[in-house]
Structure formats: structure tokens, C-alpha cells
A = this chain, B = another copy of it.
């Protein structure tokens, strides 16, 4: 292994750009911090600026006329409906919108809202493995008497009511998913659609489920804003979710809400103004970024005997009007050649920090790595995998 001070030719002749990262430095690809999109927003920096004056946004209230989500600013609600209309990824007609401090808070609000209020025993919350690594802890942390973590949805065999979370495209593996529980009991569904946006995956249909979760973090990459939203069919569920957010944090930062409204507005304006250059539109630009990374990765993985990544089928995207593979935000890496603990191997041999398969309910020969880090981290990652 050498310090890359010049471009580094990989074995298949492609050139991996130089990085300034020392080979002894650990590359942090464990979390999914979406810093890759920062360069897009630097181009749009002034256009997306918000100014908040000293006396503005002081009240707990967002919209006294909203009988469900009273802390939501009206311009946020309008922005969310407009964005889904522009992208065509989800039905918003006849849906209530509940906003939260990230989809993380809303996931818990949803589980609370769908749980029976006075159960004889906690209802099981399920997700098909590999499932998002945080669901289990988020469900279990307070040892609720209302709900409990029930594990892998695919192996659930109890004839008892349940809540199934369908993450689609899935985190960690990017697969488009449907419910999998086979039970005679009645289940309630939460669709976590954090990655159902055109830069990550073809938009094949307008999602039309009872309870759908989205997050600003993955949509535009503004993870620091801690802002998510739910589209909810049943008003009582929406009200119960709002009640949870009220008890948990008395609403959602108005500063974040103002910024969300502004940035969503700029994204939508781009698509609705006839003269916009395609290369400057958010989802096209971001898809190109992710596609470039995936193409570099596939080239390296194709040559690797140690690592593999599943290939994704193409699908036609109604939004971009082209057929393409998905370009997930995470690499779901499988270690081959008898490497049993992929996370440890990556860390010890390659100084790459990922998150091992066991956190996702599967074997430790898998690990999840962020594809959305800095260029330097990503290129250094490619170099180390190439060299391994």
C-alpha cells in the first residue's frame, strides 16, 4: 500500500484520482452523512440562503388553522405537497402531513400511533433482514409496554397483530421492497421511503401506502436540519403521531422548517421553470454524482476477489424518463474468500470503518459503507479495496 500522491491506476486501467489521505488514517464510512451533495448546494448557495431576524419564529405554534400538525409552518406543508407532485414519487391527495425532528422521530411516532393503547402485551415491530440497523434500538431503548422489537419480518410466524416496517429502497442494501410477513393476524404497515427519490432509484410509481415516511436528510442531503415528514391516510393516526412529537419535543425547529421550505422551493422552481438547464437540476446532478461513484466502484469490485456487491436490475424511471440501475447511498459489501467478519477485516486490514452485518440482522460477512462521503474518502476507499 502506498500513499497516493499521484493518480492511482487500478488493475483494469481506470484511473482513481489521487487523495491526500495517509494510508494509516481510518476512513469513516460507518455513518451515512450525505456530504456528497454539498457541492451542488455550493452552486446554489445564495439562491437557497435564508435570513431569520431576531424576533421571527418565536412561537411554539406553526399554523393555528392546522387541526392536526399545529407546529408545522404552512409553507412547509405547501412545499412538501409540491415536491411530491413534481417528482411523482408519492400520493399526497387526501393525506395528512406530520413533520418531525428527522424521520427518526417520526418512525417512533408511527410505531406509537399504530400500537394499541392498552395492549395485554407489546405489539411486535418487524422488518425484513437486512433491516436498518437503528430500528431495533429505537424500538427497544425504553422497553415500552406498547411495542417491542420482533426481529426479521420474513421469519415471523406468530398469529398476533404486528407492525411491519418496509424500507424501500432498503437501507442497507438498496433493494426495492414489499411487505413480507405471512401471518393470519392483521398487520399494520409503515413504509420508510427515505431513499425513494430519483437520484437513488428509478421512480416506477406513485407510492400510495397508509403511512409513508420521508426525510430531508436523504432527499436533499441536509442531514443537519433534522427534518422529516410523514404522509398519513388516517386522521386519527396522524393526530396520534403529532401527540407523540408534542410529548417528545413540542414540535420541530421553526428555523429548520423555514430552510426546508426555501430549499424545496428552489428544487421545484428548477423543474417548473422551462429554461432550466438539466445539468443544474438537483436530482439530475445528484444522480450523476452517485452514478459516477457506482461506476468507479463496480470497476474496482469486478476485479476484486475479496469483495462483491449485488448487481441491481434496471427499471424505467417516470421522473427522468430513462431506464437505469439504482444508485444507493450505501455499499452493501460482501466479503468473500473466507473472511467471516467483514467489518473487522475492513477496519484492521484496510483501515476502513463500516457497520457489520450483524447490526442489520444478517451474517457478519456483510458490511455497510457509506457511498455519500467526501470525494477524498471515497477515492481512498476505492484505492484501498483495489489494493487489497
* Chain A residues near B (Cβ < 8 Å): 31, 33-35, 37-42, 44-55, 57-62, 100-102, 104-105, 108, 112, 134, 137-138, 141-146, 217, 221-227, 244, 247-256, 258-259, 263, 266
Choose from B146, B226, B252 the contact partner of A251 (Cβ within 8 Å). Answer: B226
Q: Is the CB of A49 within 8 A of B52?
A: yes
**Given known contacts A142-B146, A222-B58, A223-B59, A52 and B259 CB-to-CB distance under 8 angstroms:** yes
> Which of A46, A137, A141 has the most C-beta atoms of chain B within 10 angstroms of its own C-beta?
A141
Q: With the chains together, A159 CA to B57 CA distance in Å?
A: 47
Q: How far is the CA of A204 from the CA of B339 in the complex (A)?
A: 64
Q: Is B49 touching A51 in the complex (CB atoms < 8 A)?
A: yes
| Nearest CB of chain B from residue A286's CB, rounded to whole Å | 13
**This protein's copies in its complex:** 2
Cα–Cα distance between A312 and B119 once the two chains are bound (Å):
46
Are B259 and A224 interface neighbours, CB within 8 A? no
Task: Give the distance to chain B from A309, nearest Cβ to Cβ, in Å.
Answer: 25
Q: How far is the CA of A37 from the CA of B142 in the complex (A)?
A: 37
When the two chains form their complex, are residues B53 and A104 in contact, meaning their CB atoms are under 8 A apart? Answer: no
CA distance A51 to B134 in the complex (A): 33
Q: Which of A47, A101, A221, A258 has the most CB of B within 10 A?
A: A101
Distance (whole angstroms) from the CB of A42 to the closest CB of chain B: 4
Q: Is the CB of B42 within 8 A of A54?
A: yes
Contact B224 A57 (CB under 8 A): yes
Task: Kindly state the separation between the CA atoms of A134 and B256 in the bound complex, as whole angstroms.
Answer: 25
* 17 additional A-B residue pairs with CB within 8 Å, beyond A31-B60, A41-B55: A37-B58, A41-B54, A42-B54, A45-B54, A50-B52, A54-B263, A58-B222, A59-B223, A100-B249, A101-B248, A102-B250, A137-B247, A145-B145, A224-B253, A224-B254, A226-B254, A253-B253
Report which residue of A60, A61, A108, A263 has the largest number of chain B beta carbons within 10 angstroms of its beta carbon.
Answer: A60
Check A58 against B45 for contact (C-beta < 8 Å). Answer: no
Q: A321 vs B323: C-alpha distance in the bound complex, in angstroms?
A: 73
Given A58-B223, A60-B33, CB of A105 within 8 Å of CB of B248: yes
With a cutoff of 8 Å between Cβ atoms, the chain B residues found around residue A141 in the complex are 112, 244, 247
**Most B-side CB within 10 Å, residue of A108, A138, A146, A222:** A222
Q: What is the distance, in angstroms, from A79's C-beta to the closest C-beta of chain B? A: 15
Give 6 A-B contacts (CB < 8 Å), ordered by A residue: A45-B54, A50-B52, A104-B248, A137-B247, A226-B252, A255-B255
